[in-house]
Structure 1
Amino acid sequence: MKNLLIYPTYFPSISHYIALVQAEEITFETEDTYQKQTNRNRMHIYSPNGLQMLNIPLKHSENRQKFKDVKIEYAFDWQKIHFKSLEAAYRTSPFFEYFEDDFRPIFEKKTTFMLDLNFEIFEIVNQALGITLPYKKTTEYFHDAPDYNDFRSLVNGKKDTTQVEPYTQVFNDKHGFINNLSILDLLFNEGRYALDYLKNQQL
């Protein structure tokens, strides 16, 4: 996969990370207009009750905004809710305690812009995987990007039809395998083996 064009998202999906680790070069789209109901500010995890979406509230403007200008809303404590949800989902997973202290700061400090938070998360996830992924950022928006492997569509979970190979999940016995969750699901269940898994998947 040559030069990948992709969005930075909130604890990206597994498909997102398959594209990232298999790319020769990475360019993040940062000049897009904000669109609601995408993975820019949401992730999906495997809760005790099955699939659960965790959504970060954003401050909305009357005018159309570029995503890089969108601010996070802290009027209610979504950080506490998200971390407690992760604990309920993964406390008994093999690697939650191993990574817990790496991810906890994300849910304790107040980053102003959603895009900045996504880049902070990208670096922490890469550290957990034991990799470095250099990247560039776009300087203008193009609807079509013929010079790239354009995987910007992965930001829309409804359009992402990637099927990943099953691995052991905490609540397999209750609800079976749930496909293509947040990279956190893979990390907490597979630890450093997650990287080999990502390299062996196909999009």
Structure 2
Amino acid sequence: MSIPLLSAFYFGAVEHYALLARSECAVIDTGEHYERQSYRNRSSIIGPNGRQDLVVSITRRSGEKMPMQSVGLSYAEPWNAQHVQAIRTGYGQTPWFIHYMPDVEDLLLKKYDSLVELDLATMRMALKWLKMDIAIELRENFVEDPSGLLDLRNSLSPKKTLPLGVPAVTSYTQVFADRHGFVGRLSILDLVMNAGPDARGVLKRL
């Protein structure tokens, strides 16, 4: 299949990693413009009351277009501590919470200078958990000509249907499934907290 061309993402959805599990390498465009309401600064988890979006606070003037690598983080509000608490509430009763949560806390309670730095840290942590040996190429300049690449920068979005080429993840054991049924397109955190070392197997079996 073609090499995926992706935006940087905060943790990333399970579908990001389902795609990466089928790939030997991927390209991350850090020179593209930041877009609101995208995976670039948000990730969805499940909690007692259903789906919950974790949104990273950034420093950006309204309406201003900025390259991703120039987007800074704002810690005026403790969003990172709030994310840790939300993850604890959502996944504290899952089988693998104790195994993965220390990594999550260490990562989130550290302060980062840029959104890209945070995004890449979350992605690398997830790839390590999944034992996925995939080459990631970072492009600091905007990729204007994506010829030969599977360009998913705008189409792989929480606000859009899954694009062609991205496998849909439709079943694995989830906490709160008795209340909410299966909830799709959640953060990779959801899969690893529930499936543990078998998370990679879930992705490979798609």
TM-score (norm 1): 0.93
Percent pairwise identity: 29
Q: How many residues align?
A: 201
- Residue 37 of structure 2 contacts residue 159 of structure 2 at CA under 8 Å; is this kept in 1? no
Q: Which residue of 1 aligns with 2:149?
A: 148
Q: Which residue of 1 aligns with 2:194?
A: 189
Q: Which residue of 1 aligns with 2:183?
A: 178
Q: Aligned-pair distance for 1:155?
A: 4.2
Q: In angstroms, what is the RMSD of aligned CA positions?
A: 1.6
Partner amino acid, structure 1, of 2:176: F
Distance 1:23 1:153 in 2: 19
SS at match of 1:153: coil
Q: Which residue of 2 aligns with 1:91?
A: 92
Distance 2:107 2:188 in 1: 15
Structure 1 residue runs of 4 or more that deviate by more than 4 Å after TM superposition: none
Matches within 5 A, 1:32-111: 32-61=32-61, 63-111=64-112
Distance 1:32 1:94 in 2: 38
Deviations 1:145-164 (A, max 9, x none): 12102222354211143631
Deviations 1:100-139 (A, max 9, x none): 1121112211101000111111111111112232211224
In structure 1, the gaps of 5 or more residues are: none
Kindly tell me: are residues 49 and 174 of structure 1, through their superposed partners in 2, closer, same or farther at Cα, counting changes over 3 Å?
Answer: same
In structure 2, the gaps of 5 or more residues are: none
Partner amino acid, structure 2, of 1:176: G
